[in-house]
Amino acid sequence: MEQTMSPPADRKQDRGFILASLSFGHGISHLYDQGIPVFMPAIASAMGLSNLQVASLLAIRQAGFGVVNLGVGVFVDMLKNQWGLILTACMFWAAIAYLAVGAAPSFPLLVVAIAVVSIPGALWHLPATAALSRRFPDRRGFAVSIHGFGSNIGNVLGPLLAGAMLTVMFYRNVLFIYAAPAAVTGFFVWWSLRELGKDEEQAEPRTLRGQFLATKEVLKNPVIMALVLSAALRGVGLNALFHWTPFYLEEELGKGHFSTGAHFALLTGMGIISAPFLGQLSDRFGRKQVIIPGLAAATILSMLVVSASDTFWLAIVFAGLGLFSFSLQQIILAAVLDIAGRGTEAATTGFIFGLNGIIGGASPFVATLVINHLGGFGSIYYYAGILTGLSGLIVLAVPMAKPNRESS
């Protein structure tokens, strides 16, 4: 009986295989991205950084994420035949970037390294989301959420791994070790996804001007713009939680690296449970019917963090927040893609993440003012709760039809 180590060529174009491969790569990407906030207190302590310097690093990371998304989305839509190569490059770039962060001997060089490290995670979403939107028009919420499910596995493992390794190893050594799995994953992504986008029906190719005009038409839609604004406000609130929670846990509650990583994993990774479920519900009953209750729950839970203090309830509240952390952003993204035209998916996705990143670039400085003048690191949870509540009010005011279950 003939055996082979690789699936037939057509298997790699099966949409289930592509969804699984993209979700795996997304998980590895987030394993790295969500480890960074856990590293920051150790980096700040070792290099003697002030809160303002930490805020500068966080702002650069967010702004870099935003600039890549805003600037590249239109080109990713045009380079459909190169999606596999772009995704592969993301992984190898991540390996190089983490080596750079670990090797940076001074604050100015660390600034450069952090800017570099923002690029691969930002770029991954564009071809991945565009490909899923095209291949799952009948189950878009589910597909985007499963892609998010992969990220949530990384969101759990990243903080846990970073926290565990920091208890026994200097942060520089941990970052050097981190480069190896990213490089290995790069080879897997090349093997599994190098044909992504090449097998689709070729429409009349757009010129660069035509692509910009098509994207401009999408962004003139008031419902899309309202959803983009809602996602941006929610994203700024999430970024504040993710950036400063490790400092709250270590400096105000006195927790160690591993305990911090475990609590942070609850905050970022509980979408493992909620993402597929919420995605299915949004496909069946409508995006708005899922987003509004989720944002309301996230607002309330954010306001309860400080009162939970250093008790058992803190883990419960963090777990509750984690159920809605990334999963609701994925449903908002699916709602936007329901409206966006074919051929503009990457640019539309880039606009959502890009605006989030650009606004998020200023957010660490606003958050620093909140921390310094309104009650310490704990005050950040009230700040995030207010932004989440505003995001929910915007969605509440937006007319949203139940998505059509088109055949694929």
pLDDT in tens, 114-140: 888 878 877 888 888 888 877 887 777
pLDDT for 65: 76
CA distances from 82 to 77, 188, 234, 250, 337 (A): 10, 16, 32, 44, 21
Does a structural domain hold residue 407?
Answer: no
pLDDT for 12: 58
pLDDT for 8: 46
pLDDT for 238: 84
pLDDT in tens, 218-267: 677 788 888 888 888 888 888 888 878 888 888 888 888 888 888 888 88
Q: Give the domain range for residue 377.
A: 13-197+206-397
Does a structural domain hold residue 185?
Answer: yes
Does a structural domain hold residue 405?
Answer: no
Does a structural domain hold residue 48?
Answer: yes
CATH assignment of the domain containing 39: 1.20.1250.20
- Statement: residue 390 has pLDDT above 90: yes
Does a structural domain hold residue 1?
Answer: no
pLDDT for 293: 92
Question: What average pLDDT score do residues 282-290 get?
Answer: 86
pLDDT in tens, 293-342: 999 999 999 999 888 887 888 889 998 888 887 778 888 888 887 877 66
Q: How many percent of the chain have pLDDT more than 90? A: 6
pLDDT for 269: 72
The count of structural domains within the chain is 1
